Each structure stands twice: as structure tokens, then as C-alpha cells.
Amino acid sequence: MARRKKIYEGKAKILYEGPEPGTLVQYFKDDATAFNAEKHDVIEGKGVLNNRLSEFFMSGLNAIGVPTHFIKRLNMREQLVRQVEIIPLEVVVRNTAAGSMSKRLGIDEGTPLPRPIVEFYFKDDALGDPLVTEEHIIAFGWASQQDLDDMVALALRVNDFLSGVMMAVGIKLVDFKIEIGRIWDGDFMRLVVADEISPDSCRLWDIKTGQHLDKDVFRRDLGSLTDAYTEVAKRLGVLPTNV
Ligand code: C5P
């Protein structure tokens, strides 16, 4: 590939200038981080798996009319995406109590929630991405009330789609995080799902055995992360060759 201008480098991905205005190339690294980057490792092949899995989820969403930034996969580690203005919030949807919700509220991991719960976290590494309320979001101007309503609707549509896809291959979607961006068409603005959807950003439990098939394998030292992600890709029929 031709040398490209780097726009941004994050913990697991790099964004380069794309071939057309309004596009970017998203490169998936092998780096795994947890606990606000306190824990770090390089896991060979993770980027290839996440590129392929994110392509699968994002193109599935596009196909059912849930807008995403995804245009097409370019190669084993890169995909072409629309450039968006990222809203500085992480949008988490939970179906089952786990992780920070279990810790914060003292609810046992694995407790089914009465309905999907949408939470917002302010994207700020220095602050450790704190949980925020809709009041904070509106008061500090991170999004309008209309944006918030649209973000919740978008997140719940993603939840319905992902839950169904995972259920069909014997995996429970416990929770996930998405990022949402704005795309402007003249004066018209629409919200799209951006960043990635992969086992890095979801909790996925085998329905029969309860085995973790997501980044908790790395966070909690539960075995091989590559094996877990490979299992997800295999079940979805998208296992890349030569990971
Ligand atoms: O840690 P917590 O329980 O709040 O995470 C909820 C979900 O959001 C998990 O699936 C986790 O992988 C994802 N997440 C993420 N990036 C973060 C925080 C959480 O992908 N910075």
C-alpha cells in the first residue's frame, strides 16, 4: 500500500488518511490493553481477527439499514471507513450484569437484567472514562437531547442484531460498547456506528459452558485470547486464513 498520512493512533488501531476525501483507512494492531492501558501485551493475529469480525458485524448492520462508518475491508488488517466526527462518549448496552456494573452495584455477574440497559461513559483516558448521565451530556454539550434519543435507538438496534447473530451460534451477548459519530451532508447530520465491533468491545459467553470468548480472557488471564477470538470467528464462518 502507498504510504499514507497518519491521522490518529489509539491503543488497538491506527487511522490513516483515506484515498478519497471523507474516507479513512482503519488499521487493526495486535496490541491488547486493559485497565486504562495499565496492562498491555501484543497478541499476534488479534488485529487480523478483529478486522474480519468487525467487517462481519458492521456490514451486517449496514445490510439491515443500521448506518455504520464501514465501507469495505481492504486487506487482512485494514478497512476503508467514512470519516466521522466522533461523539466523545462510549455507549454501553448491557443484557446481563457483568464487569463494572456488577462491581458498582453489587449485582452478581451473570444476573439477567430486566431489560437492556444503555449507559454512557465520557471518553477521557486521563479520567478513566467515567460513567456520565444524560444531564452531564446535555449540560456539557457533548450531544443534544435529539442526539441522545437517536444514540439510544441506534444502540438498541445494534443490540438486537448482535444478540440474534451471536445467539444463532450458541453465544450470549452479555454487553458491548460502541462509539457513534456524526456524518454531515451539507446541513443534514446523521449518526452512524463507528470505531469497531469485535470481541475487544463485547462480552461473549458460550451459552452451554459459560466460557468467556472476549477480552476478559486477557483482562482476567483466562487462557489464550487468540483461541477465544478464533472460536468466535469460526462459529460465524469468517475465520481468516493465516492468522
Ligand atoms: O468494563 P465494563 O463492564 O463497563 O464494560 C462493558 C462493555 O464495554 C464490555 O463489553 C467491555 O468490553 C466494553 N468496553 C470497551 N471499552 C472500554 C470500556 C468497556 O470496549 N473502554
**Measuring from atom 11 of ligand 1, which residue has the nearest CA?**
201
Are 147 and 203 part of one and the same domain? yes
Residue-level pLDDT at 241: 83
Q: What count of other Cβ atoms lies within 10 Å of the Cβ of residue 38? A: 7
Establish if 43 belongs to a structural domain: yes
Establish if 1 belongs to a structural domain: no
Residue-level pLDDT at 243: 62
Are 161 and 89 part of one and the same domain? yes
Are 175 and 211 part of one and the same domain? yes
Q: What is the CATH number of the domain that holds 41?
A: 3.30.200.20
Domain count, the chain: 2
Mutate to test the pocket of ligand 1, among 131, 177, 200 (most ligand atoms within 8 A of CB): 177
Establish if 235 belongs to a structural domain: no
Establish if 241 belongs to a structural domain: no
Point out the domain boundary residue: 39, 61, 82. 82
* Cα(124)–Cα(126) distance, integer angstroms: 6
Q: State which ligand 1 atom lies nearest to the alpha carbon of 216.
A: 12
| Helix, strand, coil in percent for the chain, rounding step 5 | 30, 35, 35
* Cα(116)–Cα(92) distance, integer angstroms: 10
Are 46 and 93 part of one and the same domain? no
Ligand 1 centre from 139 Cα, in Å?
24
Domain that holds residue 162: 85-224
Establish if 231 belongs to a structural domain: no
Instruction: Please give the average pLDDT of every successive group of 10 residues along the chain, which has 243 residues.
Output: 85 97 98 95 98 98 98 98 98 99 98 98 96 98 97 98 98 98 95 98 98 98 98 97 69
Nearest to 240 by CA among 65, 69, 50, 86: 50
Residue-level pLDDT at 1: 53
Are 54 and 89 part of one and the same domain? no
**CB-CB contact of 15 with 103 (8 Å):** no
Are 53 and 74 part of one and the same domain? yes
Establish if 237 belongs to a structural domain: no
Q: Which three cell numbers stand for residue 152?
A: 439510544
Q: What is the CATH number of the domain that holds 100?
A: 3.30.470.20
Q: State which ligand 1 atom lies nearest to the alpha carbon of 175.
A: 10
Are 74 and 122 part of one and the same domain? no
Span 139-148, pLDDT tens digits? 999 999 999 9
Are 32 and 133 part of one and the same domain? no
Span 182-236, pLDDT tens digits? 999 899 999 999 999 999 999 999 999 999 999 999 999 999 999 999 999 999 9
- Residue ranges of E strands in 6-98: 6-9, 13-17, 23-28, 31-34, 39-42, 70-73, 78-82, 85-96
* Cα(5)–Cα(52) distance, integer angstroms: 23
Beta-carbon contacts of 235 under 8 Å, excluding residues fewer than 6 positions away, are 169, 170, 171
